[in-house]
Chain A
Amino acid sequence: MNGLLKCVPAVMVLVICGTVAGFAAAEHPSGMTALEDSDMASVTGREGIALDLELRINADSNGAPLASMGGCAGTGNGCILALQFANRFAGGGEWLVLKDFYGVMRLNDLRLDGSRLPAGPSAFANPKRFEDKDGNCLVAACDPSGSLAAIFTYPDNPGFTADVELALNIGRAAVQFDAEGFLPSADTGTSFVGVRVGDTQTGTARIDINGGLQLYGF
């Protein structure tokens, strides 16, 4: 994606130059086949949803920079993420440009399901969390116990499981100026910081997550 975003939101502008690819649901190695009626009849949605996500930015599936992007190396390469904050227009426009920017993120078998919150209050209950600014309870008795909630989990396999895989490279970062100061042509090679996320053995950082993150509204 080499297009430019021309909108100017109130708080922040975000520009990505480079390539973004690789969103995929759980891949199936064989060709697609039609579902039988009997298969369809068993689909209720009650078993929840499993989600595989792979997001690549200027990187191949191993997290290595794309050769087609010049390896995201050298002054003026096209692998950037640029941010502009509200009311920062000195010199025609101030852009915080993250350069040599590439990476990959995978969420492996993230489960989304329904759940109920525990039936009774916990030892650390804080009813004030559920009050509006006038002190009125937004849930009954300011206690959400027993309510419905979505829950995100990963399979709790024995040992270490790479539930999340992450590789990120920000080789350089600098502020660049002008209305289109984010463009690689404005890169002078300067940098004040570089950040990398990876793994010394596998290249891609791996994270094992157990337990659940619940989500409910009130």
Chain B
Amino acid sequence: MKFSHFIRMLPIALAGTLLLSQGHAMVALEEEEMSGVSGTGLAFPLDNFRLQAAPTSFIEQVGGAPAAGISFNRGDLRWFGLTLSNWSASEAAGERTTWAGTCTNGLNNMGCPISTRGIQNYANHDNPFVLRVFEYQRVGLDPAATGINGDWLGAPLDANGVSANGVSQTVLEILGPSNSQDWRWAFWGEIQSSLTDASGNITSVLGTLRNQNLIIGKPATYIRPPSIWGTGALVNGFNNSVDGAVLQMFQYRGDRVLGGGTNPADRTLDETMGLLYHSRLSGDYRLSVNQAAGALDTDPVPQFSNEEGLYFSDVNAYLPLGQLFYQAIVLDSVHPTGGQGDGNFIIELTRIPNDPNVYNDFYSSAGASGYQRTGRNARYYQTHGYVEWGTAFPTCAGANCMSGSGVSSARFSSNLAAPTSVTLPALVVNATNFPGSLCGNNNNQSCSQYAGTAPEVTVPVSVTVASAAGQTTREAIASTGGVAFVSRDPSSTWNVVNNQGLASTGTLGGNFSNFTNLVAADTTVRLARTDSESCGFGCRRLIAQLPPDTATIQTRANAIANSLVTGGTNPTIAVNAINLGTSRVEGLLVNHLKITSLGAGN
């Protein structure tokens, strides 16, 4: 039996051998079950899977002595307690937890980084991780080429993903699930800054910043930008669907500049291991650093507060790094041409070859005069990535606009200490408490007599800051979509000028200490608490109105409260949550990317 065939048959053989039928004898595999195995791929479904590293278990990037002549200190980065767990909108509060203790659901359901349940509906049995060897015919270097400047063969991909006259190569690939339920992915981190001796050993720790990271989402997203192409319904003849991440490994053949340099004279034909990764992510992300009151950085496990943080919500991102077979992630080292280097290392997404067959496929704008907003082919959306933070983008009616549904009106949450209700105490109806001409049919005549007691009355009050529209709740800010920042609690604020382009006209605020007395002394309010009746010829008696006219009292209370607000037309606002807006990147191409380490050259 060939080894490859043995590997392909192994899972079925294992399952058949081990199949446990509780209380029954084992059943032999039927021929038709065996005949269903073609040996093309291995599938890895997850069944109620949950992974949790201990809260004190970490992966660390170990720092070292900073290079001479720079102002940096040693930095050590640690990632603790990596957890993959379930998320569901209908989950019970008791399923939510943290590394150190309890939590509340917080804002945008992101107060708790961990669920006690396994992930439901991720890598299902009929949409699993797939490991397989597959053959693709794509634009590639002429197999006969033995040196630089070889021909790149192949036409842009057709609807079946095949490049006519292209190069066929075998690829080892791992396909992620193309769609799933959202789930939690969380860890807490630590950035430690230290002083060192000449050998890099820590002599004193300057400080530590602890942080909490939570994603509720999935490694899958829409094939095309959803703000333009929708989320499933037919838009301009295209039904936008979701796809997952892909990792491929293949033999890369292309030009290489020796030694990690840039001199074209140093080019040579390269044949090496190439990697390709098409990343797809969607969901919400929260980064927070505030710890619960009394926490110390020396605590083994931190307890973070439930609401503070930077929120990225309704994110959709597709980032293609590499294209079969003309662009790949390759590994290299720094060295002079043909010589020995200083020990540094290179990870490079290779440069796009300067060849029409390559860039006709890569740019996918053939037949058009440069990039166009409309009429792009399907291949364009495979080679071009996009990132969207939020879903609410400006509307645009122009022919060459990116479409949008309009921006959110939720701008900030403020802790303006305004009253939310007012209670007027019971008040004896007499000339002192109800002065003025409140009697008669038109309530403009003096009163002869007074009787009764106006009862206590409570009405709600709403202060709307007209000069700074967009005030809403912290929850609305965190969940509105896009990028938002929320303080640790409502009383923790920072100042922002309402319109950054204009000078501030004062600080948004107001003195509400005498608010109740002002409402009680308002003539309209007094009339709403009393009635006038006749007590004989020329006699007018003021009595308590039962019940009082609360609608009128509320209207006046709102008006009086808002008249007490100060700050002018463009106030500086003490905010405790702010919507930083939405953002999107479309048509994202990475033509060349090279990361070179420097540490070994110190």
Contacts and interface: CB of A to CB of B under 8 A. Distances in A.
Interface in B97-132: 118-119, 121, 124-128, 130
B397 interface: no
A85 B259 contact: no
Contacts of B38: 132, 138-139, 218
B560 interface: no
Contact of A171 (B52, B62, B273): B62
A191 B199 CA distance: 12
A65 to B, nearest CB: 15
A131 B245 CA distance: 18
Contact of A149 (B15, B49, B60, B258): B15
Interface string B37-66: 111111111111111111011111111100
Of all A-B residue pairs in the complex, the 6 with the closest CB atoms, nearest first, are: A114-B19, A194-B62, A174-B343, A114-B18, A192-B597, A91-B340
B248 interface: no
A190 B334 CA distance: 13
Contact of A217 (B39, B52, B341, B598): B39
A201 B56 contact: yes
Contacts of A173: 345
A88 B333 contact: yes
Interface in B213-244: none
Contacts, number: 295
Given A46-B18, A150-B14, A218 B37 contact: yes
A117 B43 CA distance: 11
**Interface size bucket, A side?**
35 or more
B19 A148 contact: yes
A36 to B, nearest CB: 22
B342 interface: yes
Nearest to B50: A210
Given A88-B272, A138-B40, A44 B26 contact: yes
Nearest to B271: A87
A208 B52 contact: yes
Contact of A207 (B53, B134, B334, B343): B53
Nearest to B338: A90
A123 interface: yes
Contacts of A25: none
B599 A87 contact: no
29 contacts: A46-B26, A87-B270, A88-B332, A90-B335, A90-B339, A91-B338, A91-B339, A114-B16, A117-B125, A124-B177, A129-B126, A133-B136, A140-B36, A144-B126, A149-B43, A175-B333, A192-B597, A197-B59, A200-B58, A201-B300, A205-B54, A205-B59, A208-B51, A209-B49, A209-B51, A210-B118, A212-B48, A218-B37, A218-B40
